[in-house]
Amino acid sequence: MLDSTTMAKYEHLKATIHRLESVVVAFSSGIDSTLVLKASLEVLPQDKILAVTADSPIFPRDELEAAANIAKELGAEHIFVETGETRLKEFTENTAERCYICKRNFYSLFVDIARERGFSAVVDGTNLDDKMDDRPWLRILDELGVVSPLFEAQLTKQEIIELSDAFGLETNKPLYLCLASRFSTGIPFDVEQMKRLYEVELWLIEQGVSDTFIHHHHENIARVIVFPEDIARVAEPVVRDKLVARLESLGFKHVTLDLKGKF
């Protein structure tokens, strides 16, 4: 059962959205933006809500499919917008400003859509824990006037999971990180390499690993990261040998397994 503090925060979340009167929800299909979309549908008419998802090669196709399915199940109007950051030189050079450039690009498009279609605000799924972390790109939200109702309600990630579970929303989702995050700063992006790395990650999950992340480091090093309980499975010869062969076929000279076992 949800405690009174968490429920009070959820009421605050709904009140923040209600005051906006009409919203474009920056919708990734993740737990956070899904809760924002659900809360929006509770307090605003359907025609005052539009879920918008960025469509880009840096996002796995299954995540985009999930966004469409979840929005449909919740009963929200939903559209994709092609964001085009992979055509921006300042993004593909993969500098330390990568995340800022990317998110500035698609949040700007969301703001334009809201303005063109007469919605009063863009809302997103940034929560209290996000704001506590060192995430320089978050300054975009203030620059563009994007509202973060989860943060306004001071909801933590754990509280969002508890609320989502209580409401019957999907909470057992793999860790979602954009494909561009696989490349160390300074390594130019290769869209096809992004896709191939992700295919290897999906293959590892098929081998019984709960989740994984393969990082492309300098000097053609592939760093395979899984949760601690999955390290032994990856190290088994039948998995290890095939994993090494797959990554070497992508041009990596060295394949490493991160023994810290965390993302």
- From first to last of its 263 residues, the chain has per-residue pLDDT tens of 788 999 999 999 999 999 999 999 999 989 999 999 999 999 999 999 999 999 999 988 888 999 999 999 999 999 999 999 988 988 989 998 888 999 999 999 999 999 999 999 999 999 998 876 667 678 888 899 999 999 999 999 999 999 999 999 987 766 667 899 899 999 988 888 889 999 999 999 999 998 899 999 998 999 999 999 999 999 999 999 999 999 999 999 999 999 998 76
* Alpha-carbon span 56 to 65, nearest angstrom: 13
Beta-bridge partner residues of 80 = 53
Q: What is the pLDDT at residue 133?
A: 66
Domain 190-257 has CATH 3.30.300: yes
* Radius of gyration for the chain, computed over Cα atoms and rounded to the nearest angstrom: 19
- Between CA 237 and CA 211 the distance in angstroms is 19
Cα separations in angstroms, 35 against 11, 39, 47, 148, 156: 12, 6, 18, 12, 12
What local confidence, expressed as pLDDT, does residue 229 receive?
94
CATH 3.30.300, the chain: domain bounds: 190-257
Distance CA(8)–CA(168), nearest Å, equals 19
Report the pLDDT value the prediction gives residue 20, as an integer from 0 to 100: 97
**Which pLDDT score, from 0 to 100, does residue 2 have?**
82
Residues of the chain with CATH 3.40.50.620: 4-166
φ/ψ of residue 185, rounded to 5: -55, 135
Q: What is the number of H-type helices and E-type strands within the chain?
A: 12, 7
Q: Which CATH number fits domain 4-166: 3.40.50.620, 3.40.50.1970, 3.30.230.10, 3.40.50.300?
A: 3.40.50.620
